[in-house]
Structure 1
Amino acid sequence: MANEWLERWREGRIGFHRDRPHPMLVNHWPALGVRPGTKVLVPLCGKSLDMRWLAGQAHPVLGIELAPEAIEQFMAEGEGVTTRYPQAGFQVCRQGSVELWCGDFFHFHIEQAAEIGAFYDRASLIALPPATRQRYAFHLAQLVPPGSRGLLISLEREPGDEGGPPFSVLPDEVRDLFTPNFQVTLLEQGEPEPGRGFRESAWALVRRGPLE
């Protein structure tokens, strides 16, 4: 799976990339109540412009991405000085209030996540095959402290369409994956996008405390 992702970036097959911030992020993030200054974790971030939008809302952003090409393109398309340094087995690039860690999300541990207080997933869960999604949901829960708020955007393909990535993740699976560690609320179930054969849904997640 990792090799396929790297090949997509090397070959420029990135039809999943949007040239503007995701409308569900713009519409729903303010209602989550994440305080300005809270660092936002963005797993499997690609070169998403959603990170620049979050930075524009006064959030430091920490993105994690496996493909070096995605990180280099993000930095090249931005403004300001880029600094680079190694950190805990990752290569980190920082530009303004966005820092991108190049490496495997599952190798990112709580010691590096100490300042994170929120998260955003538009293309992480749906990029993973079914066998890896449980591991992802558990690992995310380990990285964010109780009370952390996040926005998840899931995707449903038309019945019979088993293609991917991005993969179809049905609402019941979202609930099954995250309810053990998060309060899960469906915020919006979008309409099928013309010509794209899928629809997206937005979810609010709040990390439960140990006694909940």
Structure 2
Amino acid sequence: MDNQWLQRWREGRIGFHREAVHPSLKRHWPGLGIQAGTKVLVPLCGKSLDMRWLASHDHPVLGIELAETAVEQFLAEGVGEVSRYHHDSFAVCRQGSVELWCGDFFHFHIQQAAELGAFYDRGALIALPEATRQRYAFHLAQLLPPGARGLLISLIRAPGDQGGPPYSVDADEVETLFSPNFELRHLEDGDPEPGSGFRESVWALTRRGPKVE
């Protein structure tokens, strides 16, 4: 998957990138009740404009992305000075209140995630093949403290369409993957995307476990 993902970025085959903030983020994020100032994890973030929307609503953002091309394009399209440093195997860049860690999501560990309190996944779960999705759901849970909330947008392809990425992840699989460590609430199913037959499904998740006062 890694090589395929990097190849798509190198060749500019990024039809999954949206040129506008995702409407489901704007519609549902306020209802999650996440306090301003809460740091938001965005795994496999690409160069998503959703990160800038979150930052504009008083959330520090930590995005993790494997493709250096995506990171550099995000910074080039933004405004403000960029600071850079390295942390373990990651090249880290910061622009405003958005911090991008370039490297493998599965090499990002709890010691680096101390300040995280929320997450947003529109492009991570559906980018991963079936064999890797359970590992992703478990690793995400390990990075978030009990009570952390977030928004997950999965994708359902038309019947019989087994292509990808992005891959189809239906409601049953979302429940199976995340219910061991998260409370789930299904928020909506979108209309089929014209020309593709894709339909997005939006979920609110809360990390299980006793909150630390």
TM-score between the two structures when normalised by the length of structure 2: 0.98
- Residue number in structure 2 paired with 1:99: 99
Q: Write the deviation string for residues 80-107 of structure 1: whole angstroms up to 9, x where unpaired.
A: 0001100122000100000000000000
Q: Tell me how far apart the structure 2 counterparts of residues 72 and 203 of structure 1 sit (CA, whole Å).
A: 30
- Residue number in structure 2 paired with 1:186: 186
Contact 2:147 2:210 in 1 (8 A): no
What SS does structure 1 have at the residue aligned with 2:13? coil
Q: Tell me how far apart the structure 2 counterparts of residues 59 and 196 of structure 1 sit (CA, whole Å).
A: 33
- Residue number in structure 1 paired with 2:209: 209
Give the unaligned 5+ runs of structure 2: none
What does residue range 75-90 of structure 1 map to in structure 2 within 5 Å? 75-90=75-90
- Residue number in structure 1 paired with 2:129: 129
Q: Tell me how far apart the structure 2 counterparts of residues 59 and 46 of structure 1 sit (CA, whole Å).
A: 18
What SS does structure 1 have at the residue aligned with 2:153? strand
What does residue range 36-47 of structure 1 map to in structure 2 within 5 Å? 36-47=36-47
- Residue number in structure 1 paired with 2:147: 147
- Residue number in structure 1 paired with 2:6: 6
- Residue number in structure 2 paired with 1:176: 176
RMSD over equivalenced CA pairs, Å = 0.9
Q: Tell me how far apart the structure 1 counterparts of residues 48 and 9 of structure 2 sit (CA, whole Å).
A: 13
Q: Tell me how far apart the structure 2 counterparts of residues 135 and 95 of structure 1 sit (CA, whole Å).
A: 30
Q: Tell me how far apart the structure 1 counterparts of residues 27 and 159 of structure 2 sit (CA, whole Å).
A: 28
- Superposition deviation, residue 210 in structure 1: 5.4
Contact 2:187 2:203 in 1 (8 A): yes
How many equivalent residue pairs?
Answer: 211
What SS does structure 1 have at the residue aligned with 2:3? helix
Q: Tell me how far apart the structure 2 counterparts of residues 28 and 88 of structure 1 sit (CA, whole Å).
A: 35
- Residue number in structure 2 paired with 1:74: 74
What SS does structure 2 have at the residue aligned with 1:154? strand
What SS does structure 1 have at the residue aligned with 2:152? strand
Amino acid at match of 1:185: R
Q: Write the deviation string for residues 126-163 of structure 1: whole angstroms up to 9, x where unpaired.
A: 00000000000000000000000010000000000011
Q: Tell me how far apart the structure 1 counterparts of residues 124 and 35 of structure 2 sit (CA, whole Å).
A: 23
How high is the sequence identity, in percent, across the aligned residues?
74
1:17 correspondence with 2:37: no
Q: Tell me how far apart the structure 1 counterparts of residues 44 and 180 of structure 2 sit (CA, whole Å).
A: 22
- Residue number in structure 2 paired with 1:197: 197
- Superposition deviation, residue 73 in structure 1: 0.1
Give the unaligned 5+ runs of structure 1: none
